[in-house]
Amino acid sequence: MNGFLTMLQLNMRLLLRNKGFLCFLIILPLFSVLMLNIQLGTEMETGNFDPHYVQESDIGKRLPMSMDHYQLSIMVIDTDQSWLADFILQQLADTGTYRIYRSRSDIVSMEDAAAEATAYVNRNTVGAAMYIPPGLEENIRGSKSADAVYLFKTSEDGRLALLQESLQTAINSLTALDAATAGKPEAFRELAEDMTAMRPEKEFRTFLSDSESNVLTDEQANNKSNIGYTLAIVSIAFLFTGIFIGSIAVEERQNLVFTRILLTGTRIAGYVGIKLILSVMATLLQVVIMGIGILLFVKVDLGLPIWHFMYFIFGFGLILNLFSVVISAVLNNLLSASYSCFFLFTVSSLLSGLYFPLESVGELWKRAALLMPAHWVVRCCEMVMLEQSGASSTFLLIVLGFVVIILSGGYLGLKVRQT
């Protein structure tokens, strides 16, 4: 037992003397915590968006990023700002085919409107831009319907032709109303308002699969994205602290220290246990540092208890740390181990959905994501946000499964290397 404790103390001293290890132990986890404070400029829209209503926006504000590939997003520069403009836009929104964002503006020049629309489309994920100049009612009732609303072609999207037809249909219906009311403004507006009142009321509902009981709000989706960025950064810290621990094992083997340790009667299980304890301690220290950083620096509500988040981070870090230790011991080469860990970081970050959601990717990609630890962290965090049960137990089973696979693979790798 004294020999076990002596080796553990010596390994800890070697690690604490390494400035690189201290950097990955302290600085990088703290830096990753700062990502939780970021409020994204373009939030992802989720299931709480009702396409049947015109959304008020600002020409200087970036739009939410929509993952819906079926609805065409439209920015409308509304200079007329009349009840008739509301009527036309609501007609388009009632089709459920478009996402309409209306910006009330005072632009009166067609050239200025075209320039503003072009600049806006370049800054946002919208497929079309419209301009409603002043005098909308006079243009429609005065047989100048061609000048009533302008549609700017901003892309080669085939749905623009459908939008043009929908817009023309709405204007034609108003022209017919004007003819039916013999050009009387009061009767024209009264009949249009009657048509609006007779429009069937729509109730927006979200239909869910059996595996889901709710949908993330925009704020929760933003927090989920920030958690993904945090995982991407802190995973580097976990992987490379494991490499530093594994470097001790490599040096002990290359300097025949490992052989002398075995000659003292120390069992291999005890030697492996020391490295395992170092991994657990290093991961625990990093998680504690992150927890302190969250308490001191994070000013936003993550949507889940901090202890839950720390629990997920600890399991995630333990998996990556053990992987680095094992891969370093098996390869017996720090440069090769570093390449392997960086490759794992790159592939895992992409496949886990840390940078983009996995809802719209193929089934093969989704199945590959199940093999990535970070994917399960994000998924379990989402379960906690949605108040679904079983997140902690599910994650515990996932961690145990990964640990068993890593240790078993390391044991087989060492056996093959010794033969």
Q: Where are the domains of the chain?
A: 2-40+213-418, 49-198
| Residue that has been written with the tokens 């103390």 in this structure | 9
Phi, psi at 395, each rounded to 5°: -70, -35
- Check: CB of residue 2 under 8 Å from CB of residue 197: no
Q: What percent of the chain has pLDDT over 90?
A: 5
- Check: CB of residue 157 under 8 Å from CB of residue 128: yes
Is the pTM higher than 0.85? The answer reads no
- Check: CB of residue 89 under 8 Å from CB of residue 26: no
Q: Which of 144-148, 189-193, 200-204, 283-287 has the highest mean pLDDT?
A: 283-287
The region of weakest confidence among 134-138, 234-238, 403-407 is: 134-138
Q: Are strands 150-152 and 128-132 parallel, antiparallel or unpaired?
A: antiparallel
| Residue that has been written with the tokens 């056996």 in this structure | 415
The C-alpha atoms of residue 308 and residue 166 are separated, in whole angstroms, by 50
CATH number of 49-198: 3.40.1710
Nearest to 270 by CA among 36, 78, 6: 6
Q: What percent of the chain has pLDDT over 70?
A: 73
Per-residue pLDDT band at 44 (split at 50, 70, 90) = very low
- Check: CB of residue 131 under 8 Å from CB of residue 150: yes
The C-alpha atoms of residue 197 and residue 267 are separated, in whole angstroms, by 84
CA atoms within 13 A on the CB side of 118: 6
Res. 211: pLDDT tops 50? no
CA atoms within 13 A on the CB side of 36: 24
Per-residue pLDDT band at 67 (split at 50, 70, 90) = very low
Predicted local confidence at residue 199, as pLDDT: 58
Res. 154: pLDDT tops 80? no
Helix (H/G/I), strand (E/B), else coil: 271: helix
Cα-based angle 175, 154, 122 (whole degrees, multiple of 5): 130
Burial degree of 407 (CB within 10 A; 0-12, 13-18, 19+): middle
Average pLDDT score, the chain: 76
The C-alpha atoms of residue 218 and residue 45 are separated, in whole angstroms, by 6
